[in-house]
């Protein structure tokens, strides 16, 4: 039969007309896109296209109204989570039209609601009692989270909003005024401050005060009489320095460099109050910079640092070496004054 004899045409490998034989040009031996698959064969299950996974719709968030900050939920400011299972604040949230929700949804505890400054927190506040009284209609939001319509709704109208803003402004002004450092009586009127101090003295202190001012009290036997005479002295003499460490205050001028100090405690005065109430020292102010750098031959060797002065508390004092009297060296350094130094502080030997 034709084609069956070896060597006859049609039996040569690769010859056209032989279906299913690999390597024969022009024959579609494989399915498009599926190498190695014969026509009519089903692809393996792993080769089949995967079915598209449909996303599971998220469940809508269920919000509690009114928006209490429940125990276990931390305050967004201090982090406190409350206790005893009771609400300890509110959440910044308001239910609006068409199921819209306003606010940042951050919780604030009652303590922070009452203490946070207006500059960072705003003026819109509420209390536990107020929030409870509004029942199901209760809501609160930070001022920064509110639209103008929210502010009007919260306070009840334009006029009420204006009144609330005016009250908040007045409270801010009062707070700033109270924060200003108040001048002491000595700064306002040194003589009046001295009189107040005299009125609080004991009989022994009053007699010592009059002695320091060379005023007799031999004819006085009652405390009110001593007080009245001491007050007369106050009115006609330079007030004594206040008790305690002799710090320089803001505005005091250093005797050496002539610079006014910008802050309190930038230096000290040469001053010591002795046990009998007498004031020793020249009362000149020295800043810490000059205390460290002043030449030894003119300033002397007795120096002090701010840390040392602070460490002595209410008993702190300092004086120039040339202002020392007998016994001051030992009180200051805890040892006897060297003879050479004692000789040098004598004005006649300077």
* Residue with more model confidence, 347 or 113: 113
Least confident range of 51-55, 167-171, 193-197, 252-256 = 51-55
Range among 63-67, 103-107, 296-300 rated most confident:
103-107
CB 299 within 8 A of CB 280: no
pLDDT for residue 292:
92
In the predicted structure, residue 40 carries a pLDDT above the cut 80: no
Percent of the chain at pLDDT exceeding 70: 79
Cα(37)–Cα(49) distance, integer angstroms: 16
Residues 6+ apart with CB under 8 A from 215: 229, 233
Residue 52 pLDDT > 80: no
With H, G, I as helix, E, B as strand and everything else as coil, classify residue 174. helix
Whether the pTM exceeds 0.85: the reply is no
Report pLDDT for 185. Answer: 41
Cα 228 to Cα 61, 187, 214, 224, distances in angstroms: 80, 23, 16, 6
For residue 271, the cross-strand partners are 318
The mean of the pLDDT values for the chain is 82
Mean pLDDT along residues 21-31: 48
Strands (E), the chain: 68-69, 89-91, 94-95, 101-102, 107-109, 267-269, 272-273, 279-280, 285-287
- Comparing 36-50, 100-114, 252-266, the range with the smallest average pLDDT is 36-50
> Does the pLDDT value for residue 63 go beyond 90?
no
């Amino acid at each position: 039969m034709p084609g069956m004899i070896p060597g006859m045409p049609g039996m040569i490998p690769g010859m056209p007309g032989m279906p299913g034989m690999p390597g024969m040009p022009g024959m579609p031996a494989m399915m498009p896109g599926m190498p190695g698959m014969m026509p009519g064969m089903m692809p393996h299950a792993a080769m089949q296209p995967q079915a598209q996974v449909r996303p599971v719709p998220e469940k809508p968030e269920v919000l509690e109204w009114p928006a209490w900050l429940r125990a276990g939920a931390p305050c967004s400011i201090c982090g406190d989570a409350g206790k005893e299972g009771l609400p300890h604040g509110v959440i910044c949230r308001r239910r609006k039209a068409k199921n819209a929700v306003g606010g940042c949804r951050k919780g604030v505890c009652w303590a922070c609601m009452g203490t946070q400054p207006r500059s960072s927190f705003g003026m819109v506040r509420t209390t536990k009692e107020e929030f409870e009284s509004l029942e199901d209609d209760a809501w609160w939001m930070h001022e920064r989270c509110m639209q103008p319509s929210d502010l009007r709704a919260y306070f009840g109208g334009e006029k009420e909003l204006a009144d609330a803003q005016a009250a908040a402004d007045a409270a801010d002004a009062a707070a700033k005024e109270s924060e200003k450092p108040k001048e002491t009586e000595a700064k306002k009127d040194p003589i009046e401050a001295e009189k107040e101090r005299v009125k609080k003295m004991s009989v022994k202190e009053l007699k010592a005060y009059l002695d320091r001012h060379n005023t007799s009290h031999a004819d006085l036997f009652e405390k009110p009489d001593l007080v009245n005479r001491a007050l007369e002295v106050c009115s006609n003499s330079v007030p004594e320095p206040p008790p305690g460490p002799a710090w320089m205050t803001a505005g005091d001028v250093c005797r050496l460099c002539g610079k006014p100090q910008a802050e309190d405690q930038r230096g000290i005065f040469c001053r010591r109050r002795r046990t009998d109430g007498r004031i020793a020292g020249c009362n000149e102010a020295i800043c810490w910079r000059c205390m460290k750098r002043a030449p030894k031959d003119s300033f002397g060797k007795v120096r002090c640092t701010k840390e040392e002065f602070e460490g002595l508390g209410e008993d702190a004092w300092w004086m120039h070496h040339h202002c020392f009297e007998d016994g001051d060296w030992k009180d200051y350094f805890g040892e006897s004054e060297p003879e050479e130094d004692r000789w040098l502080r004598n004005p006649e030997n300077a």
